[in-house]
Each structure stands twice: as C-alpha cells, then as structure tokens.
Chains A and B, each alone.
Chain A
Amino acid sequence: MTPDGHSELGAIVLAGGRSTRMGTPKALLDWHGAPLVRRVTGLLARVASPVVVVHAAGQELPSLPGVELVVDEHPGRGPLEGIAAGMRALRGRCDAAFVSSVDVPLLHPRFVRSVAGALNGHDVALPVADGHNHPLSAAYRISLLEVVERLLAEDRLRPAFLFDESSVRRLENGEIDEPGSLRNLNTPEDYAAALAEPEPQIEVEAFGTLRERLGFSRTTVPAATVGHAVERLDGLAELLPHTLVALNGERFHADPQTPLVAGDRLSVLTAEAGG
C-alpha cells in the first residue's frame, strides 16, 4: 500500500446471493468456528486492502472487523451487478480486486496471491478447472468498471460477456497455488462434505514463561480459527488477557473467529512487552 492508502489489490466478496439450493444464507454458515463470510473476508484481508462485502439490503451479517459493506442495489441480476457495486467502492483506491464468492471455506491466501499475481498486464486473471471458468475466484482490474456498467445497461449480465471484451489470462490448475481454494458449496450435501474436512494443522510456538505454563515450546493443533487454537491449547484460555497471540509474526489477533489456514504459525507470548 502507498502512503496515501492506494493499494495494488483490493477484494470484493459477493455475499448477497439467494442461496436457493442451500436453503439457508451461505454467508452465515459456520465452518469450524466462524461464519463463512467472516472466514473469507478475514483471509482476503491478509493479502488485499480494502475488503468490501457486497450484500443485499437488510441482509443479516456478523461482525466483520475492518471490512466495508456495500449494498447491491439490484439484487437478483447476477454477479456482474455485485462486482460493479464493489468496483465503485474501490475505484481510485486500488488497481485491481480479487472477487470472491462467500462459499469457499478452503480459500487460501496463497491462492489469491497467485491469481492476482497472474494479472500482469491483463484485465482479468481467471482460474479454469475441468473446463469451467471460475469468475468468482478471479482477479479483475478496476478499470473494467466502465465496461461492466455498459454490459449491465445492455442487460448482458453474464461474466462471459465481460471476458469477451477484455484481456483474460486463463489459469489452469497447475498454474496456481492451493487450487483447492476453488471448492465452493451449493447444496446441503456440499456443506456437509466440507464440514467433514479436517481443520488445518497450525504450528504454535510459546515464548517466555508461557512455555512452562503451557507445557510446550512448539506444538501443532488442528484449528480453523484462533478461537479453536486457544481452546485446544490446555491452559491458554485462562492466561488471557496477559497473553498475546500473533499470526505469522505479523498482526495480533484477539478475535476468536480470526480464520486460520494450513501453514499458519501462531506465536503465543506475554502481553507485557517492555524492557
């Protein structure tokens, strides 16, 4: 991000879909300790800023720290309307946006980084799996907004129309990191299968006096959220709030719904940092 707040990559999460086949709002489905919309926005925030959630008017959403909310004024007209609403919010603030659906519990920040990294002069970086485009796991230049708005005015609502009029870099499975990120949930059966997936293994390192208190210096726990990691480390919950939990050596996270992915490292240390 530049000093004036301009960033290379923002993110747009389309959360306002009708979830017809699922039968219940997908944004609120829990996946191992956090609603999907919390999980997806939290993971995107690691690699993109700002993160915008486009939702339907009146739609119930959980607390989403640091996330901007935008109403889709034309619900029911497909993803291009949501993309346009998100791009309007991001215009002038970033060069490109990763657009994501809300139903991707296995999303990994490395996947987002590799897709966005493939833009490289193109208008769209579009993952393709088994012959299918994945327009809601793709990166778009914000400069496409004019084209998107024209297509909407012409009632040409499918993303394929946008791809016809832009420079698209198609990404096959082997070209992107963490392709499992593409797995989305449309039916209760899909959701049940995703819930049956194990939580990611998280490496945890304790420092200082906490090593003795917690009985380890390094360990691993299965945890999809910081909250689950804390619960599964015997004795840690009682030591809060004199304890800090840092994710990957960067930010501190007290929100138990902060999402975790495979390869993450948590550092647990005493809160008193002085010296």
Chain B
Amino acid sequence: MSTIGGGFGRYLRVDLDRGVAEPVSIPDGVRRAFIGGAGLGAWLLTSAETAGEPVAFVFSPLVGTPLTTSAKFAVVARSPLTGLLNDALASSHFALQGKMTGHDAIVLVGTAPEPSVVVIDADGTSLEPAGDLWGLPAAEAEQRLRDRLGKGYRAAAIGPAGEALVPFATVSHDGRHAGRGGHGAVLGSKNVKAVAVRGRMRVPLADPDRVMELAADLRTRSFGPATEKYRELGTLANLLAFNALNTLPTRNFQAASFEDAAALSAEQAADLKQRTRHYCASCTIGCGHIYEAGNGNGARLEYENAFALGPLCGVGDPAAVIEASRRCDELGIDTISAGGTIAFAMECAERGLLDAPWLRFGSGEALLRALDEIGSGEGIGPLLRMGSRRLAQQLGGDAPSFAPHVKGMELPGYEPRTLQSMAVGLAVNARGADHNRSGAYEADFSQRVDRLHGGSASVAAAIDTEDNAALIDSMILCKFLRGVFTDARIEWATLLNAVTGCNYDAEELGEVAERIVTTKKLFNVSHGWTPDTDTLPDRFLDEPLETAAGTTVTLPRERLAAMVREYNLRRGWDEQGYPQVEAKDLVPA
C-alpha cells in the first residue's frame, strides 16, 4: 500500500495483443523521485514491464485536487516523428476521470487485432470494436462514444491523421490536443481509436485542509496581472509583439517579421472575429479564445497555430489561418509541424525542388489545399505527411539545410537567431525543437541575457527553464500559471507536500528535475540519439538574419556548439552530451 498521497501507487498495464489488463505497482521511491506526468512517464518508458512500444497516459499528484489548472495528463511514448522520447500534455476531464479509475497511469502495450476503443471503468478494462468510429474526427468520435457509453465517460481520441499514421498526428479530448510528436500515430499503429475512462475513486490527500487553503490562494492569484495576457487575449497576444522584436518566424524562417502581422494579431482579431472563450477543466484562467472561421465554424486561435499557419507560410489572411486551424483540429494534426512542413514545402516549390507550382508563400488557398492533401493522402499529401526532415531527405539537394526541425520536430514560433538562449534550448531538448520543454525564451525576453549573442548566461537559462518545465510537467500545473509564483520551487514544494506528504524542498525538486531530464536523455541515447543532432538547421547557423530594424544578426555555428558543450558539462554529462550514469542509478533505493 502506498504511503504517498496524490495517487494510488499503481498503473494499469493494458496488453492490446491479448486484450487483458492488470495493475502494476509503482514503488513509492519512484513516485517521489519522478512525481508524475512527464517525469513518471519517462520512468515508465524505461521500465522493463512496459516492453512492446508502450504509450502511457500519465496522471500526476495534483490531478483531481481543487488546485487550479491541475486537470492535465501527459501522453508519453517514442515519437514516430523523432524516434526519441516524447511527452505531450493536454488538459481535460479525461485527466480527472482517468485518474479516478484508481491508477496513476494507463500504459498500452502491443497492438489491438482490429480498430478498437479501450474502455476503462469500475467494471474493469475492455477492448470494444471501433469500426464505426474509424475515419471520424476525434471530436465526433468522442461524442459518439459518450452517446454509446454514457455521459460519465471521457475519451481521448485520434482523428483520421492518426489512423493514417501521420507522424505529427495528435491525441485529443475536449478540443485540446496532446499535440506534438505524433502520439496520434502511435495510437493509430496500435489500432486504438480512443481510450475511454470513467472513474469513481477519490484522490487521497496528505493534508486535505491545507490543500483547500492553498487552492483558494492559487485561484485568487490566477486572476492577477501575471495571467492577464492569457485571459484577455490568449497566447495570440504574442504575435504582434514578437513581430516588433524580430522574433516572429516568417516564410520558413527567411525573415523574423511579417508585413501582415497586424491582420493576424489578437489586438485586431479580438475586436473582429472572437466568438467566445474556453476554459480547460479545473482552470480559472481561460486562455482559449475561439474565433469565427467565416463558415459558421469556430476555431481556437493560439499563437503557435497562428504563427505556423500564418507568417511561417506567408499567409496574412485571418480567415484562411482560422480555417486552416480548424482543419488541423479536424484531421488531428499538430499545427506547428503541419505549418512548418508546409512552409518548408512552399520554399522547396519556389526553389524548384518540389513539383507543386500552386504551392506558394502567401497563398491561403494553397495552405488549405496542402492540409486537405495531408488529410486525403492525394497529390503531394504523401510527401507532406513525412514531416520536414524526411521530406528534405527525400527531395535531396540543399533541402536539408533549410528544413525547419531539430531531431525531426518542427521548430515553434521563436526565431533562434534573435533568441539565442532559446536556440540552446531548442538544440538540446530531448523531444526536439519545442517551446514547452525548454522555455529559455523567458530569459531572452528579459535583461538577464544578451539575446543576440548568447553566452554562459543563456546556457544557465536553458538549464533552469528546462528543469522548471520538467517539474511543472510532472506535478502537473499549467505553465501559464508560472508568473504567479515568486519563488517557484519553494511554492511548488508546498503544493506537492500538502497533496503527497513527501516533505519536498526546493533542493530536492532541483534533483528531481535533473533526474527527469537525464532519464529522458538516457532513453534517447539507447534509441539512436547522436551528439550531432544537438544543433539547429544550417539556415540558422549560416544565414545572417536581416531584421526590420536594419541590423544583421548571426548565430555562428561555433557559438552554438560552445553553448551546447557548456550545457552538457553543466548537466554533469560528458561534453558530447552522454550522461555518465545509468537509468537504474537514478532511482533512489
């Protein structure tokens, strides 16, 4: 019996080959050492019991408590896009119901014999045929499942892209996506359309009164100035500001400001087309802003999908960008990888490397056609479905030098040459180019570092923000809350202690973060990672960036290499990035 609060000390192992499920205990030492979410997921993927290309839905100690923004889960598996460890998070009632089944994680191994839905409730686990759901958008499949199973059930599902094994397909629920790295394709490869859960267990809390007190305080703080941006305009508020700061990736990273940025900005879109706001389950921020797509449909517009389907493709027509977002949701694909791959293909077409004369920067029509071909697999769809890395390899020539990815994952909306702390974070992160696992841009948007020249302060920022992301993704809380904490690790320890009774302090949380980061790295080392992949595409290292302000910014290859080397050594790894420990040594006895 577990003595740690906030969970149940076991995960549910579902063997899809045999159609059986069994609980497997998780030692208290592991729970303390990895907390939950992304951290526990990393441990699960290195555990011998989960052989068989596992995909883990991992909950966390804070799920099911009244702490705001805590209803989140991590999907953890080997990414079909990168071949490396990938954890993708989403917020929804799935996290609450899934955890209340009495498990800290649900791990699927093997492959179902036919398209199936995994149903987990108080009666046990069953595989139900999903032939009638195959081909449906995830949202529609979710609705049909609730109609069939009952309203208490919540399902995480894949769309048509996951079924077609598009390596940047998402897993979604309630319109929220565990978006990056292609977990939708992992489920598709297992013949799993959805996982439906309904739970009845209560989450054991070490100090329920203290949890209530902390939850009230956090809720109050979540209404303050640190979250105002997310509440009032959402992350789309980044777009116009990033444009002014020369950090808005434009036309496949050929520029860092976009002439039509104002038309896509939250400042303008909020007045013109906003329909409503959306709150995730258990959230008091409400960052989701739904916009009118012009045909009676609404679509969520956030910075990352707006940047990737807008400026990155040179498209400045808000109607086209909103509709493109909606189609990505419908297909169930990651908007960043979709936009990144299409923008790359646009440049290839303009350079004559790809025979698609219709595919041009700036054309909303071309953008929508490209998305449709990803969905249908017709035309150049099979090429676009590869993602930018594999497409570049297929096209050859100098295409790989400007394919916008790290380790196969397309870059998010942060220009690395003008955000050189972020450049380090993007280069070294375990899951590839991603802004949610490395938030070093926070330092770049401050006086703490020289964002145009990098250096040791940038390396320190890359490590610090990566560690904080590892912690917040393991507890789990929403990163949009991070501004409300004045001394984050001390306050996070306080929250965790009230829930788990573990008596963490800031120092131990620092050790937990390092352990999680190193565990991910060890997984990658054993799955084909090589030091030469800890870099950025040649474009960023060889091509100077001319900013709208008239200055020229460079990120020389030697500078990035020096920062990556310093990062490795500060992590206690060798200078190439190989950890000097084994996974088994990372779990305290």
Contact = CB atoms under 8 A, between A and B. Distances in A.
Interface of A: 1-4, 205, 207-209, 211, 217, 239, 242, 244, 246, 248-255, 267, 269-275
- Provide the main secondary structure of the chain B interface: helix
Given A208-B237, A249-B548, A274 B559 contact: no
Given A239-B225, A252-B447, A273 B442 contact: yes
Given A253-B447, A274-B480, A3 B559 contact: yes
A275 B446 contact: no
A242 B227 CA distance: 10
12 contacts: A3-B559, A205-B244, A207-B240, A209-B229, A239-B225, A242-B226, A244-B446, A249-B245, A250-B245, A253-B447, A272-B226, A275-B235
A270 B447 contact: no
B479 A274 contact: yes
Contacts of A252: 445-447
Nearest to A208: B237
Nearest to A252: B447
Contacts of B235: 274-275
B291 to A, nearest CB: 15
Contacts, number: 102
Contact of B237 (A217, A253, A270): A270
- Provide the main secondary structure of the chain A interface: loop
B147 to A, nearest CB: 34
Interface residues of B, number: 48
B525 to A, nearest CB: 28
Given A209-B232, A275-B413, 11 more contacts: A3-B559, A4-B558, A207-B267, A208-B266, A249-B547, A249-B548, A271-B483, A272-B230, A272-B483, A273-B238, A274-B479
B575 to A, nearest CB: 17
Interface string B241-253: 1001110000000
A122 B435 CA distance: 47
Contact of B452 (A2, A4, A251, A274): A251
Contacts of A270: 228-229, 237, 241
Contact of A275 (B304, B450, B557): B304
B551 interface: yes
B328 to A, nearest CB: 17
B531 to A, nearest CB: 19
Given A3-B556, A251-B452, A208 B233 contact: yes
Given A250-B551, A272-B226, A272-B229, A208 B447 contact: no
A51 to B, nearest CB: 14
A252 B452 CA distance: 11
B299 to A, nearest CB: 16
Contacts of B557: 3
A274 B451 contact: no
B241 A269 contact: yes
B302 interface: yes
A9 B481 CA distance: 43
Given A208-B266, A246-B244, A250-B551, A273 B445 contact: yes
Contacts of A205: 244
Interface string B451-489: 111000000000000000000000000011011000000
A98 to B, nearest CB: 17
B225 to A, nearest CB: 5
Interface in B171-195: none
Given A2-B556, A273-B445, A249 B549 contact: yes
A248 B304 CA distance: 24
Contact of B245 (A239, A246, A275): A246
Nearest to A47: B551
